Structure 1
């Protein structure tokens, strides 16, 4: 059977995890958004989907939150465990997310989710949040989907999304956008924090 785009993308991350961790250490590309989440949810438990090297989880824990770190790439799991962190293997498309959580963090991940899986994934996130819980997500702005070759020479599946498309999908899942941040350059990142309604979906 042909590997899914998600599985092929994970294979690429397996090969470059060490370099990725080194290149992103201390940069805090979306550190402002992570700080915003910590201010909105000053206490409680956060589920991080796609922790990677774990730098964002470190920031949230430094702010006093408890973080369940998860990833699908074994190389990232191994890197974090070597740092003494607990990390669960989790596939957001096929696995249950558990909960309820006070917040869910999903940065640089949703871009690798195929359009057909977007609604089910957001539905899982909503179900995993307690009423009033917050969801912080980032996507590259744009339209269309396909394969992109990174500087490493490895291929990654990316699904770009417009702001309206993402906000509509969040609302359909019962997640009300409460804060957005847009990078100024064309094709930059859109970061959204959305709140699960008290009555659920």
Structure 2
């Protein structure tokens, strides 16, 4: 999930903005977010998901953190993967139920992740985890992966923390990371970089990266 309705930024995170306040902001915008991010057939396949398919096999089980409306899970399941859909916002769990999909509420910071999984997918969600907390979350993800399991995620590239203000006045906490920082953190957890891509989005620069457990750095 991203705060796609963000209208302002501040240079440093306010004391009130956190993962918790960010989740509260998403509780009221599931329908709008789903409409904004709905798949567009003319856009073709997502390169990051195509790379994930190279690392996992049909029938493999994936954990999706921050499933949102469930569009990525739909795409992966259509190609033979089993996806455990989870999100920290109850509104997205209900949205997916309304379209006949089973999703669970899961707080990636506080809840056990289960597993082991053949892969973990966390696109446009981990930027909302506080910088001081993310290394522990990444450790939980590494522990939830099988040997040679794949981890695909995205993060905002940069330094420090920021707050984005949504159109309804909600605060969305955003942590920014350098690619080299994350490679180092994940290498210490036994995950090596397999593929990465950076691009400029409407909200800033993004890094999407695929790591493999047990792969060389």
With structure 1 as the length reference, what TM-score do the two structures score? 0.91
Report the Cα offset of residue 152 of structure 1.
4.4
Q: How is 1:157-168 mapped onto 2 (pairs within 5 angstroms)?
A: 157-168=173-184
Distance 2:211 2:45 in 1: 16
Q: Which moved more, 1:27-36 or 1:59-68?
A: 27-36
Q: Which has the higher contact order (CA 8 A, sep 6+)?
A: 2
Q: Which moved more, 1:145-154 or 1:93-102?
A: 145-154
Q: How is 1:9-158 mapped onto 2 (pairs within 5 angstroms)?
A: 9-27=22-40, 31-43=46-58, 44-158=60-174
Q: Which moved more, 1:150-159 or 1:6-15?
A: 150-159
| Secondary structure at the counterpart of residue 39 of structure 1 | helix
Distance 1:141 1:5 in 2: 18
For residue 170 of structure 1, what is the aligned residue in structure 2?
Answer: 186
Q: Which moved more, 1:49-58 or 1:143-152?
A: 143-152
Report the Cα offset of residue 29 of structure 1.
10
Report the Cα offset of residue 39 of structure 1.
2.6
Q: Which moved more, 1:109-118 or 1:31-40?
A: 31-40
Distance 1:192 1:53 in 2: 22
Q: Which runs of 5+ in 2 are unaligned?
A: 1-14
For residue 195 of structure 1, what is the aligned residue in structure 2?
Answer: 212
Report the Cα offset of residue 173 of structure 1.
1.9
Report the Cα offset of residue 30 of structure 1.
8.5
Distance 1:40 1:110 in 2: 21
Distance 1:61 1:110 in 2: 22
Report the Cα offset of residue 146 of structure 1.
2.7
Taking structure 1 as reference, are residues 141 and 29 closer, same or farther at Cα in structure 2, changes over 3 Å only?
farther
Distance 1:38 1:69 in 2: 17
After the TM superposition, which segments of 4 or more aligned residues of structure 1 sit over 6 Å from their partners?
A: none
With structure 2 as the length reference, what TM-score do the two structures score? 0.85
On the 8 A contact 2:19/2:129 being kept in 1, the answer is yes
Q: C-alpha root-mean-square deviation of aligned residues, in Å?
A: 2.1
Distance 1:40 1:19 in 2: 32
Q: Which runs of 5+ in 1 are unaligned?
A: none
Distance 1:126 1:29 in 2: 30
Report the Cα offset of residue 182 of structure 1.
1.0
